[in-house]
Structure 1
């Protein structure tokens, strides 16, 4: 499988740096609103935290449902017309949408803003296809890890800045996110090169392939990645426990406000950068993609269990470095999958993966939010604020078992060391 020739070899490192910065700025903009969005929902809902939990879950569910519908279209568009225009339109759309949300007077209008945000947030999907274009198969795990580092770095700076801005006004982080997204659009407009050569593009845009469920046909063409797809699907569903419960969980159990949550998220970001930038490539090289994936999933299970059990903040902090190693599993799984797909289908593969992630997110946020809300409410048989984290640990344990099975099936073809 050849690397795309749209960018000369000497320019590929610079192109990877460009896409790193593009993702970084996008993550910064999203990170800004993470500590404040649940509190804004709570404020617009009258201040009731139990019902706010359900609303936050609903917001996450709708966001995922819209992404499920739009991601395959974005992936197919990038395969047909190139990665650059999709990324640029995404950044511009996000910037304008953050302005819209900053001005939203009610929960209904805030929901409209989240829907627009889901449609516009294509850069993450397209960035993965961009990486597949410009890196050799054996280097993709490391490259995907660098994008994970961009996420981590964004979550160091973004939430802290968002927490500080929230002291001025609860809506101020949305204005900051708008500025960053529009800056990202300007950055990409002038410096981001196209990665997909015309000769490697899909010959036409096929609406039948861009339909949500039809887009999954690209996965059906490669049955050897079925286990990996299920792993990604289950792991993705557990990620939603963070966005649907974490901020309010910190309030209920530890008394953290927007600023307190932002500091914890900053620690998570630091650990994410360390793991993604410093350990992912080394661990994949040392253990191989299969075993690195299993190790990452196992650490995620342990980390979630610690979060659920942590009665004190210091106990929660103990789980952070263990849970951070979960980040190894995603780039390892992605690298394994991209080896099986041609250059002209990488965008559709990433779009299909994002569709699956979004499909998981249709049910998962409400499941975790409802679990959290129920076990802190008056009807709960036992007060258990960590119940959602225990549920996430169970789901991720299932993904680990499938990874073990997949590794055993492919033990003869993947070396333990490189």
Structure 2
């Protein structure tokens, strides 16, 4: 057993940055042939990412039951993303002190507690505050899950990222379906349902994940991470470029997520099925299409193209906001664009700067979730101040701005297509 393990470790070291023949020989099954610990994290990741799309089908119902305005309800996204953005800065510090497994479990417990309390709350402001707590738990889990999957998986960095993005896609796609079905019984149902599923995820991680997850045998103790490490990482221009690109892009992403349900003219079940279609395309393209785009055209060019298409999709939604089928079709089609871009930009970040991947992820996530915090509330207020078309125009503008920003800084990020393990 030990000799086999040693051989595996040796082959990984020798593969290094190239991974040429061994990588290609595993092209058909490398993603799926994983240890049980990876699947435990994968399952928990699906549930954690359900939180993003879970509330979409019930936004209107929450507004009606708790007598809240669309902009107030959109704060369920804003508080969640704002706390997650800030908490990302301390995830590395916590992980290097208590370990990957305990950090994952901490995140799962926090999500379970705050989602349960959210389902028992009786006013919009309490619910907004509890969603902030949910965001804290998600920060610990999301940042650490990527590191855990990369450390534990057997398919290399690129395939680990595909697996991670698949968990995101499945979570985002299943979330609206669960939200719609449970929400048709009561708006409280989805919150309580997530708490129950998180208990199952906790048991799976405890049972299947090794105590020292991802730590090679006879390795030196891990270097303690500092709160300042993500800020130091931002001295690398490439990481900042990806982070700000994602910030602008998330202005469009969360405008679609938080505001589109209010202009779609559908009930809870209808919204659930629309966002289910959106999420299925997001999951499928993140796993199957994005890697092909990377190989064929490169990360940066593919990302710029997908963001351009997304910006134009939001523009179409702005022009034809009053035409139901255009909004529905645009939301579903956007899932394919977002799935591709999520994988492309995550791969780019992992290869962007010579820093620890967990540190790079924390710095990047801090920048990108700032956009996710601003957009939902901003979209609701723009509709109240002006008209229902304006939020989509503004979201489109920010996404197209991200494309301009990428092209202006191409020389600082083009190296990601030649990085080892791409």
Distance 1:76 1:38 in 2: 39
How many matched pairs? 386
Q: Any conservation in 2 of the 1:90–1:120 contact (CA below 8 Å)?
A: yes
Quote the residue 1:338 is aligned against: 350
Return the match for 1:20 from 39, 42, 58: 42
Deviation track 1:100-121 (CA, whole Å, cap 9, x = no partner) reads 1111122232123112112111
Give the drift of 1:267.
0.7
Q: 1:326 and 2:335 equivalent?
A: no
Distance 2:164 2:246 in 1: 17
Call closer, same or farther: CA 1:406–1:16 in 2, change over 3 Å. farther
Q: Cα deviations across residues 332-369 of structure 1 (Å, max 9, x unaligned)?
A: 222223224457x2222212222212333443322212
CA gap of 1:326–1:269, structure 2 versus 1, over 3 A, is closer
Q: Which residue of 2 is the match for residue 218 of structure 1?
A: 233
Aligned with residue 303 of structure 1, among 283, 308, 313: 313
- Superposed displacement of residue 30, structure 1: 5.0
Aligned pair partner of 1:396 in 373, 382, 399: 399
Larger deviation: 274-283 or 364-373? 364-373
RMSD: 3.0
Partner of 1:290: 300
How far 1:237 sits from its partner (Å)?
2.7
8 Å CA contact retained: 1:75, 1:351? yes
Greater alpha carbon shift after TM alignment, 120-129 vs 73-82: 73-82
How far is the alpha carbon of 1:325 from its aligned partner? 2.0
Pair 65,31 (structure 1): closer, same or farther in 2 beyond 3 Å: closer
For 1:270, the equivalent position in structure 2 comes to 280
Counterparts of residues 27-106 of structure 1 (less than 5 Å) = 27-28=49-50, 30-45=52-67, 52-106=69-123
Q: For the structure 1 residues 364 and 148, does the alpha-carbon distance in structure 2 shift closer, same or farther, using more than 3 Å as the test?
A: same
Aligned to 2:17: none
Assess, with a 3 A threshold, how the Cα gap between structure 1 residues 69 and 266 changes in structure 2: closer, same or farther: same
1:126 corresponds to 2:129: no
CA 1:163–1:200: 2 relative to 1, 3 Å:
farther
Structure 2 runs not aligned, ≥5 long: 1-5, 13-29
Q: Which runs of 5+ in 1 are unaligned?
A: 46-50, 376-383
Partner of 2:223: 203
Distance 1:281 1:170, change over 3 A: same
Distance 1:32 1:326 in 2: 17
C-alpha contact (below 8 Å) 1:237/1:360 kept by paired residues: yes
Q: Which residue of 2 aligns with 1:379?
A: none
Question: What TM-score does the superposition give when structure 1 sets the normalisation length?
Answer: 0.82
Greater relative CO (CA pairs within 8 A, separation 6+):
1
Question: C-alpha displacement at 1:387, in angstroms?
Answer: 1.9
Would the aligned equivalents of 1:132 and 1:338 in 2 still touch at CA under 8 Å? no
In the alignment, what sits opposite 2:374? 363
Q: Write the deviation string for residues 11-32 of structure 1: whole angstroms up to 9, x where unpaired.
A: 9832543432221122235544
Aligned to 1:168, what secondary structure does the other structure show? coil
